Structure 1
Amino acid sequence: MEIKKKGGIIPMVYHAKTDIILAIIIFLLVWMFGAIPLFLFIRSLSTVIIMSMVFIISVVFIWWYANSIKFVFCENYLLVKGGPFKSKIPYQSITRVSPTTDKYTGYLISSSDKGLEIFYKTAAHGSIKILPKDKMKFILELKKRCPNAQIPHNQIFD
């Protein structure tokens, strides 16, 4: 249910389930593979300062991305946002929703849960994978806004 406010409707927001440990592991792996070759070239204090700044910027970016993933039900579209990345999915273009066990693609940072795959006509790859914290509430809201989408009633979305 959306709440009406003076200037219009406040969109419904669902936050993503994130696995902070996995985000830290991803960050460390990426940084280690990028930093190890640079250690061979450490010859001055300026190199250490530059590497420290890259480290700090990397930490901030990965933390921001992992903690900002959200799904916003706007009036005419579903907005999927994570860090600087956004996808606007018009409700009329959503064709199907199904569970997915593909853990490491799309807008999800999780190592343990199963996500949702939303298929829509305007997608570059045909679908997007997401992991809202409360999947059942999310699916119920999606059913209201996309009555023509194929969302099986007997499907388990745990």
Structure 2
Amino acid sequence: MVFRSKKDRYVNRLIVLSIILIGVSTLFPLFLDGINLTGTVVLMSIFLVTSVFILWVYYGVKYVFYDEYLYVKGGPFRSKIHYKDITQVAPTDDILTGYRILSSRDAIEIFYRTAILGSVKISPQNKDEFIDELIKRCPNIKVKT
């Protein structure tokens, strides 16, 4: 079963603002005198690669239930969370700290034993259905509301 990440205006604005700031900082030197073709290509490449990376991470977020583990993917960032390691699920709106693969402030935090930072924050489109599926696969999980 596959769940896509919910997207909200706050994170959309954050992504657009990030791309604008990267664009201004990398493309501003093009308007100065003395930039040659090589410099132009390098600056344009930096802007395009960085922007594509941000958009890949943002639009590539999904959560997949497999038989033995939950697969959390966002761009190049991936986590396999074995169901036996999951201890707790709780709602959260703190999306600026910790390990997170999400695109909305309406998120949940999954705590598991093998996590480097203790948990991962995700934002499935249908949280209730996602949590119900997680409970089916992890019957001993604590769910905070």
Q: Could you say which TM-score interval applies, normalised by the shorter chain? A: 0.7 to 0.9
Higher normalized contact order (CA 8 Å, seq sep 6+, divided by chain length): 2
Q: Which structure carries more helix by proportion?
A: 2
User: Scaled by the length of structure 1, what TM-score is found?
Assistant: 0.79
Aligned residue in 1 for 2:50: 58
Correspondent of 2:68 among 55, 69, 76: 76
Cα distance, 1:42–1:56 mapped onto 2, change above 3 Å: farther
Unaligned runs of 5+ in 2: none
In the TM superposition, 1:9-20 aligns within 5 A as: 12-19=1-8, 20=12
Query: How far did 1:32 drift?
Result: 3.9
The separation in 2 between residues aligned to 1:83 and 1:13, in whole angstroms, is 16
The separation in 1 between residues aligned to 2:27 and 2:93, in whole angstroms, is 33
Cα distance, 1:48–1:148 mapped onto 2, change above 3 Å: same
In the TM superposition, 1:29-108 aligns within 5 A as: 29-33=21-25, 35=26, 43-105=35-97, 106-108=100-102
Counterpart of 1:131, as a letter, is S
Query: How far did 1:103 drift?
Result: 2.2
RMSD: 2.1
Number of residues paired by the alignment? 139
